[in-house]
């Protein structure tokens, strides 16, 4: 199955990033969000990102115009009927995703594939709420989507080979390097990464070292491009907390207990870059 038009639910950071990656690669996009303001903000983010690529001489003005022309914005799910794949990229909340997936399931033609960009929620569990579980899959992009090569393709218990193969082919067409993962909380990368971030908060809370020294230690000692606390600010502390809570619930293992300091900072609204203050001030 050749995927020529992709629908995207959500015009936020991940949604508009996926839209850009598709449009630059010649794939048509229908980007949907709850308001016209939201989709226009997402489109403006794409335009700004393309402008930066022009300054770096990686694309031309003509490339930018062609990419933007491939992105249709909408506030109606009805405009997704012409797609071959819809990627749900809404907030990391199970109930919200279930609501969206049920709405999509009712109105999309039977042959349309549906993917979720979840970073932690069970693909099998989400697929089970639809009537097309064999056509449902996880397609976990990494932030910033246009720059990051990895896509985790997660098979639920019910996902068919044909669905997997079509989505893998799309990821490769976007210039990504996909890996195939069995369904499990956190999949591969976040299963390792987020507990490491949580442990960095634990070290910080114990006063073992400053945030700057913790991050410097991991950058210089482990060759990481960004320290775990700065990365948490980039991801969003609320997202890190939500992922740890999923692990604790799904595995029932206390090693996934979220650090109290992480909980406190989220409760204070210090969520990282998006609020101007997290571990660091922006």
Q: Give CA 172 to chain center in angstroms.
A: 17
Query: Which residue among the candidates 28, 140, 183, 198 is catalytic per the annotation?
Result: 140
Three-state helix/strand/coil letters over 222-250: HCCCCCHHHHHHHHCHHHHHHHHHHHHHH
Query: Which residue among the candidates 28, 117, 122, 190 is catalytic per the annotation?
Result: 190
C-alpha span between 88 and 90 (Å, rounded): 6
C-alpha span between 171 and 216 (Å, rounded): 34
Q: What does the buried/exposed string (b/e) look like for 8-39 if buried means 16 or more CB atoms within 10 Å of the residue's CB?
A: bbbbebbbbbbbbbbbbeebbbbbbbeeeebb
Q: Based on the residue annotation, tell me whether 164 is a catalytic residue of this protein.
A: no
Contact 146, 21 (CB under 8 A): yes
Q: Which residues pair with 150 in a beta bridge?
A: 177
Query: Which residue among the candidates 119, 120, 122, 183 is catalytic per the annotation?
Result: 119
Residue 244 half-sphere exposure, CB side, CA atoms within 13 Å?
25
The backbone torsions φ and ψ at residue 152, rounded to the nearest 5 degrees and listed phi first, read -85, 125
Query: Which residue among the candidates 92, 122, 152, 183 is catalytic per the annotation?
Result: 152
Q: Based on the residue annotation, tell me whether 190 is a catalytic residue of this protein.
A: yes
Q: Based on the residue annotation, tell me whether 119 is a catalytic residue of this protein.
A: yes
Helices 13-24 & 36-55 angle (0-180, nearest 10) = 50
Residues 14, 16, 21, 26, CA torsion sign: positive
List Cα–Cα distances, 12 to 39, 70, 125, 182, in angstroms.
8, 18, 24, 27
Q: Based on the residue annotation, tell me whether 60 is a catalytic residue of this protein.
A: no
C-alpha span between 244 and 207 (Å, rounded): 22
Active site positions, annotated: 119, 140, 152, 190
């Amino acid at each position: 199955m050749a995927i020529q038009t992709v629908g995207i639910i959500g015009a936020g950071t991940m949604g508009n990033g996926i839209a850009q990656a598709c449009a630059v690669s010649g794939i048509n996009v229908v980007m949907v969000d709850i308001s016209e303001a939201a989709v226009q903000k997402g489109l403006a983010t794409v335009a700004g990102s393309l402008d930066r690529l022009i300054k770096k001489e990686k694309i031309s003005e003509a490339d930018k115009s062609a990419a933007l022309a491939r992105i249709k914005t909408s506030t109606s799910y009805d405009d997704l009927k012409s797609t071959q794949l819809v990627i749900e990229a809404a907030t990391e909340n199970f109930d919200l995703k279930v609501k969206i997936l049920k709405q999509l399931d009712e109105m999309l033609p039977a042959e349309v594939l549906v993917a979720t960009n979840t970073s932690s929620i069970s693909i099998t569990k989400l697929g089970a709420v639809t009537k097309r579980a064999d056509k449902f899959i996880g397609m976990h992009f990494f932030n910033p989507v246009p720059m990051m090569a990895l896509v985790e393709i997660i098979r639920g218990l019910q996902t068919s080979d044909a669905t997997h193969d079509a989505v893998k082919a799309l990821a490769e067409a976007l210039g990504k390097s996909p890996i195939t993962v069995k369904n499990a909380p956190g999949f591969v990368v976040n299963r390792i990464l987020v507990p490491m971030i949580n442990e960095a908060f634990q070290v910080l809370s114990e006063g073992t070292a400053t945030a700057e020294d913790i991050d410097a230690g991991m950058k210089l000692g482990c060759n990481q491009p960004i320290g775990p606390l700065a990365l948490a600010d980039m991801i969003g502390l609320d997202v890190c907390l939500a992922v740890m809570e999923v692990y604790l619930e799904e595995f029932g293992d206390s090693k996934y207990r979220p650090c109290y300091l992480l909980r406190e900072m989220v409760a204070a609204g210090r969520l990282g870059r998006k609020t101007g203050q997290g571990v660091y001030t922006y």
